Structure 1
């Protein structure tokens, strides 16, 4: 384990404060956090035995002002690449290679109800378009669809419109992102075309969630719920609506800072802090059976 005898906490805090001030989507919160981190440093709060514990303490302080769960100082056991975001993408690639490209389960249940599990995250389309396209083309034949996001912890927001295009019939405004850089708004819409057949916008659709569902997976669930397209079944999700970027601040530490925030065109807000609230609340472990029963009832009508 890398210890604080091998590095001083002050340079890490100084660089973290600089990055927060320059990039965090909420400038006022960034100023409060900068003051807090410097005060905690002066108090000796970060004089601990190792970088992992240091990361935990700083993360707790970073999240103490507004509860932003995307705001973290992440410890990596292996040395972190110096390129922006490289540490995160290396870990993402390992997950992609061990999860069948983000589609670990596809099953047909009784009544021609398909189950499509997406996890452990929504991977970048340059990697995931092939497995996602194959899976979505297969489930297009089902009479009802259950998308399982219970173990999905986020991912690439650009993958959400691709998935939604298969689940809707018409061009649809899905989301708007506010980016601090340039003080700009960027709309997200379904795509004009996708490869193969769509499941479409009329057949029954259910989304399973848990208390672990986070970030990009919440985006998918919230967007389809707000459009009235999907019924969310399970538990309230973790509540992270701010896309982030990562910067190396030490050979084993990466600071994650949100650059933007989501604005849903239906609700005018997002799921930050509150999570996606299920339409049918139940324990995550029993949500698949509950959704299957709901689908069979709907199909029998």
Structure 2
């Protein structure tokens, strides 16, 4: 019976150990300050875009296929490394590279500090680290709302979703999700240039985040001070957002914090009106730190579920 146990360790043990190590590294140090793998990929994807770009959906499909296919191939190669320690190290590196929960929480805390100090200029300078809104004319309440909404949505994008796909498909799932999400940020937004070319990236991102966003909403309910209120807002308002996924996260945060999210957002001179979610007051400066704590709790719960799921799969094989 010991030989099969060794074989199970060689096939599944490195994945469990790698996930756990990657989570611990992210918790300890966050994102690297320079040379982040996602930034390196972004430059490569931009270079490929310059070669492939045409105002046509088919060119966008090819762009996405090449980028995601390359990430999947890299992940498959990492999981085929024969030495279990090396495979665990590669899994840890991939997990750390795709996660952003620690850095997200730190950015939220920096926004809280700036707003609590009344330093609007510093807060406006930091907002682009969280979202793409134009901060130039935003007052403290709108900066607080933008921060809370970004913490809600990015808790799914930066933590829950990559862990979900890592638990489902290992390193290929981790890398593929991060590539899909990055491409959506690069070309998936609506603009004259990307209306057609970015269609594939935007739709694939919607599909990749469908289940994780709903898991994020449910974990937020469980972590909320008033779970019934959070659940009620999630069920009632989660579908009102123009995104099929972001609304679930934002509605759950709104209910958990007892605030109302949504309203007019400015993106590069373009105004978008979002439906309101929640029943309470508009968020203020004092709601930013509770939102950071809530994001941390949801991320911790998602991490525990991911490791448990991967370990349970290994146990079933054993």
Same fold (TM over 0.5): no
TM-score range, shorter chain: under 0.3
Q: Normalization by structure 2: what TM-score?
A: 0.24
Greater per-residue helix proportion: 2
Q: Normalization by structure 1: what TM-score?
A: 0.25
Greater per-residue strand proportion: 1
